[in-house]
Amino acid sequence: MAKKYGLKTIVDGAHSFGLLDFRIPDLGCDYFGASLHKFLSAPIGSGMLWIRREKIEEIWPLVCNDNPRSGDIRKFETLGTRSFPIEQGIGEAVNFHQAIGSQRKEARIRYLKNYWAGQAKEIPKVKIHTSLKDAYSCAICGVSIDGMTPEALENELFHKYKIHSVAIVWENIRCVRITPHVYTRLKDLDKLVHALRETAAKA
């Protein structure tokens, strides 16, 4: 639709890159940005910018470059002094990701999400806010408990059970975001389900 009206498209792929099995050019977007510390597991502070080749020349770098109108994507690497270990860590994260394989990684993480959410949705007072259909979700799943605010549930999970989650309150969304990763163990998810069952029983 954007192309039909001559609009440029920017994709915020923060949670998709390193998780879903896809190729950026196949999306048909003009620009794609991602946080690499999420599912790629690169160091915090690393990110990625992809620009369609014919669009590179028209975008100026944020930090001065001797040829800001260049069509070479490496003009954006003129960043001054920065952390070299972070950059080295990206390469190792890519190696780890490729060793597992995109398809296997996506399947594993979706399985983990469905493992805990499938059990949690059967607990009285617990609501799952994310579709468990493969076409609509992969790792991230929202959960809430009747009678508790998202902030209260987040605090209960962390302080009593040492489970890190994120409270989301945005427009019509009010839940806690649970996001397993490829290294999450089933016994960790069993602990989450147990925590939700105990918390819901006393809510």
**pLDDT, tens only, 6-41:** 999 999 999 999 999 999 999 999 999 999 999 999
Q: In this model, does residue 81 exceed pLDDT 90?
A: no
Radius of gyration (Cα) for the chain, nearest Å? 20
- Whole-prediction pTM: 0.88
> H/E element holding 174?
strand 173-178
Q: Tell which wins on pLDDT, 189 or 83.
A: 189
d(CA 83, CA 35): 16
Asked if 3-100 and 102-202 have one fold, the answer is no
53 DSSP assignment:
G
* 141-145 and 126-128 beta bridge pairing: antiparallel
Residue type, 55: K
As its CATH architecture, domain 3-100 has: 3-Layer(aba) Sandwich (3.40)
d(CA 5, CA 71): 25
58 DSSP assignment:
G
**pLDDT, tens only, 115-164:** 999 999 999 999 999 999 999 999 999 999 999 999 999 999 999 999 99
Q: Tell which wins on pLDDT, 124 or 45.
A: 124
What CATH class has 102-202? alpha beta
pLDDT at 17: 95
pLDDT at 196: 98
pLDDT at 101: 96
Q: In this model, does residue 78 exceed pLDDT 90?
A: no
The residue ranges of every structural domain in the chain are 3-100, 102-202
d(CA 84, CA 57): 27
Question: Minimal CA–CA distance to 53: which of 76, 72, 77?
Answer: 72
